Amino acid sequence: MKKEDDEAFIPLYDKDLSAFLNGLIIDKRGKKDGEQPKPEKNLNNNQVFRKLKIALELKDEHILEILMLADFRFSKHELSALFRKPTQSQYRDCKDQVLRNFLRGLQVKLRG
């Protein structure tokens, strides 16, 4: 949760984060039949957000509530654009600020 310019910031490589998120999905939702997903070498914020949404079984309304806990206003249309395929015209990149505020709101929700 540290910003890159913070001296306590420790980088986490995409492959390690992907392995963690895949494990979180398996832990929360159970294993799928067949081959398990392999960690991606490169992740973007949209993929991280999607994996968290899947693992925690969140609906759009829940995500918007979590963002409000971090005092971050976001519309349902903006949110749906983050989860579209990159080839669609309505697709939008998830900015660091959105993901950071989602994680902050999630922290408030889970820790009280």
Query: How does pLDDT run across 11-48, given as a tens digit for each residue?
Result: 889 999 999 999 999 999 888 888 888 889 999 999 99
3-state secondary structure of 1: coil
Mean pLDDT, the chain, whole residue set: 92
Residue 1 has pLDDT above 70, yes or no: no
Residue in this structure with the two tokens 């995409």, named with its chain if needed: 14
Burial grade of 13 (CB within 10 A; 0-12, 13-18, 19 or more)? exposed
